[in-house]
Every structure is written in C-alpha cells, then in structure tokens.
Amino acid sequence: MALSRAEVERIAELARLDLTPAEEELFASQLGKIVDYFDQLRGFEDTDTDGVADLDVDSLEADDLPVPCLPREAFLDNAPESIDGFLVVPPVKAKPG
C-alpha cells in the first residue's frame, strides 16, 4: 500500500517532524513497505495452536534469583560525574502548564 504525500505530511505533523519534500517521498515509500508487511502478517492464521496448550509456560521464564549488585566504586568509576558517592544527573524541569 503506497502512502500519499498528504498522508506522510499528516504523520510528520503528528510526530512534529519538519520534513523536506525529498524526505516525504522517501518516507512515503518506506512507510508503504512497512504497512504492506503488516498486511502480510494479518494474513497468517492465528488458529494454528498445535502444541501450544501443552507448553509449560513456567519453563520459559528464568529463575528470579538474587545476585550481588555492582560495587558502588565500579559503578561510579564509569559515571561522568559523581559527588560524595552519588551519581550526578542533570535536573529535570517540568514544562509549565
């Protein structure tokens, strides 16, 4: 399914992207291929569940066992900045409104 430039422009507007006309053409082609792939996936039967009922779901999960954590010194050695044993991060500022 090919997407029109108008559809790509609308998607770009919703994503707050400023695309050039060349990018719109490129993305129309690429997004069209993605939509085609989704259409292919919809075509598969989802009723083929042979063996699924016999599957032991518990065997798929890893054991949740406690393990020693990374020593603080090793962690802070890789940090760009630390103070008194704590990692320094930039402040988070909420937008007004």
pLDDT tens over the chain, length 97 residues:
778 889 999 999 999 999 999 999 898 889 889 989 988 888 776 655 555 566 666 667 777 888 898 898 888 988 899 999 999 998 888 777 6
List, in order of start, the domains of the chain with CATH numbers.
5-42 (1.10.20)
| Single pTM value for the model | 0.42
d(CA 13, CA 22): 16
d(CA 79, CA 16): 33
Q: Which two tokens stand for residue 73?
A: 């010194």
What pLDDT, on the 0 to 100 scale, is given for residue 2? 75
d(CA 71, CA 7): 51
The DSSP secondary-structure symbol of 60 reads: G
